[in-house]
Amino acid sequence: MTHRLGFVLVGRRAECGQDKKMIRRPWTSFTLFLLLFVIIGGALAEPIDGPTVLRRMLAAEGTAAFIAHQVTTLTRGPALTSEQTVYRDGFRGMRTEYISPPQLAGEIMVDNGKEMIHFVPGHKVARVRPSRLFALKQRTQEAARAFLHGALDVELVGKDKIADRPTFVLVVKPRGKEKAQTRKFWVDSEKWIKLKTEDIGPDGTVLSTSYYTKIEFLDKLPQEKFQFEPPPGVKIERGPARTQVMPLEKVRQLVKFRILEPTYLPNGFKCIGATAIPFRQGKIVVLRYSDGILSFSLFQTPGRVLDRGFLQRLREGPSPSGKNIYSWRRGDLNLTLVGPIPLHEVQKIAESVR
């Protein structure tokens, strides 16, 4: 049976530019706790169907502690499969240690919910970036609000085994969109953690797959696991801090160059806001798009803001790393699209930018 759920973006606008409604404040952790408590409490009394499994999965996202071996495959552009050891303690901390392929082996990502440190031993650099775990928490808040609206279809399509554990299999897609990207989850039937995720394109092509081959659940993990002390001789690079999503019209007033927008978007996608990130003597503008399931970001900045050496190394087209990155130039602007979108759709977006 297919069920319809809603999806509202918290702290973001539904459209870029014209809507004059105020941006809602992100929920507090206490409010999120109350909502998830109500969600999972109600789910426990319900039969096992799509919405029930999704509710329990969302509730477990911020609480489960485990150590797992993960395999991730990106198929868009140059295909890339990597293996990682993952340490996770809900929204409190996450650590990812890359095992393979050779070009990624030894890299470590440590996230304490406030900032993430990405250690790249081959370059002797540790890059400090905004927390991905914090972003995951925000997406979970957005998904929790979905139960109040009707923008998603959720279908329980069967059962399976992942990492030798029984799972329920869910398919989630935007409501009323025949040709839209979908997301498929394999959810642990006891712990309610997603053990496998697939992003599927409108034509049925699997764009990315991530799954655990082994997993050990724990009561908690020591917080030292989510701290990282760079070895001697390692350079610390601090990137721009997290910035607030705002209407595109407001961002236009903050920069001195004309912001370009795509006239073509894949089915179901719309602009949900923009940010202006201070960088060196200028700003990088980020436009964010979503269809309620997947999202992508379009970065743009004039060439004068970027380092000359970086510009010389900039490769137009798909990233050779296969990390869902596509770059190109339009006049003086350098543009980069980041997100799990099929390559042919990315190329249409790039060609439509005006």
pLDDT tens for the chain, residues 1 to 354: 544 433 333 333 334 644 433 334 444 555 555 555 555 554 445 578 998 998 899 899 999 999 999 999 988 767 889 999 999 999 999 999 999 999 999 999 999 999 999 999 999 999 998 899 988 887 787 776 655 567 778 899 999 999 999 999 999 887 777 777 889 999 999 999 999 999 998 888 898 999 999 999 999 999 999 999 999 999 999 877 677 789 999 999 999 999 999 999 998 888 988 999 887 778 889 999 987 777 899 999 887 655 555 444 456 677 655 567 898 989 889 899 998 888 889 999 999 999
Is residue 324 included in any domain, yes or no? yes
Is residue 215 included in any domain, yes or no? no
Is residue 68 included in any domain, yes or no? no
Is residue 120 included in any domain, yes or no? no
**Model pTM score:** 0.69
d(CA 230, CA 189): 39
Is residue 235 included in any domain, yes or no? no
Containing domain of residue 255, as a range?
240-352
What do you get for the CA distance between the two ends of the chain, in Å?
42
Q: What is the CATH number of the domain that holds 321?
A: 3.30.200.100
DSSP 137-181: HHHHHHHHHGGGS--EEEEEEEEEEETTEEEEEEEEEETT-SS--
Domain total of the chain = 1
d(CA 340, CA 13): 22
Is residue 222 included in any domain, yes or no? no
Is residue 40 included in any domain, yes or no? no
